[in-house]
Amino acid sequence: MTKVYPFHISLEGMESVLLCRDDEDFDVMQKYFHVCSWVNNTIVIIDIEMSNHGHLALLAESMEAAVRTGEAIKKNHSQYLTHKYGESRTLSRSSVKVLYLDSDKYLRNALAYIPRNALDAGCRIEDYRWSSYNAMFSRGHADTHAIPVRALTRRDKESFFHTHADLSRVPWKIGTNGLLLPETACDHKYLEDAFLGDQAFFLRTIGGLNYAEMHERIVEGPRTRHNDATFHITISDIAEKWFAKDIQCLNREQKFRILMHLHRTCNTTPAQLARCLQMKRDEVENAIRMSRHSISAQGNK
């Protein structure tokens, strides 16, 4: 069986442009999350659609597959908004960021962070309509009147999902209102296993989440390019926290651990990483290249 890895994808709009302006827009964005994942052979775990941004956690064989999914979501939703509102290049300056969730704690916090966004809309998390939160710990049970997507005509599939992609084998269902039923489309079992099958554990993680810290870590941080002085402070803080050492006292293995963490979570370059970690640039580039190859190779086993 192919090995997959968890990733977080965030789609950010611009301050002056809304990604979703009415219920149809929210519905389309949610469906594009799933359609683009299906087409790129990735699997949605949990998602949320907001007026100016969206988040999803997914499983992919490699970083490249996750990135393709994110870029496809942006492209499809941009084309939809252009067609509906007549605004060209609507999302040309918006950004998609993909992060590999490389530890159990990081994974659980990211899975909790996604539905936590509903509070920004002034809703209780369980009442927010455009989230797959309620699909978690649902055992995948759908309304008895749910309609299997594979049973729809080709024209109906294209009408409901705004795509020409082949959806003849998807396990999803839609309600009588045409909305996708997340409990039939999300890999809720993966989230449930991440929280040891304990819904109370999931709820406690959401309630105890440091939202500002996670927002900085998986949304703002990867989009903000810092100058060397600020970046050096960040590295110094990590070196002290992880190893109780100054940067110049780190050994090779410790530098490489920090390097890969910063590469995944920060908007930086190999040149800046080399300068601030006091490493050779070719060492940094080789480490990044080997990391990408390692994830892809493991995924293909």
Say yes or no: 9 and 102 in one domain. Answer: yes
Say yes or no: 159 and 36 in one domain. Answer: yes
- Mean pLDDT over 41-60 rounds to 95
Domain boundary among 148, 183, 218: 218
Closest residue by Cα to residue 101 from 297, 295, 300 = 295
Helices 63-85 and 23-39 cross at an angle (nearest 10°) of 150
Q: Which tens digits make up the pLDDT trace of 98-125? A: 888 888 999 999 999 999 999 988 899 9
Say yes or no: 170 and 146 in one domain. Answer: yes
Number of domains in the chain: 2
What is the CATH classification number for the domain harbouring 74?
3.30.70.1290
Say yes or no: 58 and 140 in one domain. Answer: yes
Q: Which tens digits make up the pLDDT trace of 61-98? A: 988 899 899 999 999 998 998 899 887 766 766 778 88
Say yes or no: 32 and 51 in one domain. Answer: yes
Helix (H) or strand (E) holding 272: helix 270-277
Say yes or no: 236 and 214 in one domain. Answer: no
Say yes or no: 191 and 239 in one domain. Answer: no
**Model pTM above 0.75:** yes
Say yes or no: 88 and 214 in one domain. Answer: yes
Say yes or no: 198 and 63 in one domain. Answer: yes
Say yes or no: 201 and 239 in one domain. Answer: no
d(CA 162, CA 213): 36
Strands 5-12 and 95-100: antiparallel
* Domain of residue 95, residue span: 5-218
Q: Which tens digits make up the pLDDT trace of 141-158? A: 767 789 999 999 999 999
Say yes or no: 145 and 39 in one domain. Answer: yes
